[in-house]
Structure 1
Amino acid sequence: MSQPDAPKIEFPCENYPIKVMGDAGDELHALVVRVFSEHAPGFDPERIRLKDSSKGSFQSLTVFITATGVEQLEALHKDLQSSPLVKMVL
Structure 2
Amino acid sequence: MMSDDLKTSIIEFPLDFPIKVMGEQHPEFAARVLDVVQQHAPETAASDINTRPSSKGNYISATVVVRAESQQQLDDIYRSLSSHPMVKVVL
Question: Under TM normalisation by the shorter chain, which class is it?
Answer: 0.7 to 0.9
Q: Distance in 1 between matches of 2:52 and 2:22?
A: 9
Structure 1 moving runs of 4+ over 4 Å: none
Q: In structure 2, what is the equivalent of residue 45 of structure 1?
A: 46
Q: Name the TM-score, length of structure 1 as normaliser.
A: 0.84
Cα offset, 1:23, TM superposition: 1.0
Give RMSD over aligned pairs: 1.4
Equivalent residue runs for 1:26-37 within 5 Å: 26-37=27-38
Unaligned runs of 5+ in 2: 1-8
Q: Distance in 1 between matches of 2:71 and 2:20?
A: 16
Partner SS for 1:26: coil
Partner SS for 1:51: strand
Q: In structure 1, what is the equivalent of residue 76 of structure 2?
A: 75
Cα offset, 1:65, TM superposition: 1.1
Q: Distance in 2 between matches of 1:77 and 1:87?
A: 12
Cα offset, 1:58, TM superposition: 0.5
Number of aligned residue pairs = 83
Cα offset, 1:47, TM superposition: 2.6
Identity %: 42
Unaligned runs of 5+ in 1: 1-6
- The superposition leaves residues 36-89 of structure 1 with CA deviations (integer Å, 9 ceiling, x where unpaired) of 111112112113111100111111100111111111111111111112211111
- The superposition leaves residues 8-59 of structure 1 with CA deviations (integer Å, 9 ceiling, x where unpaired) of 110111x210100111112322221111111112112113111100111111
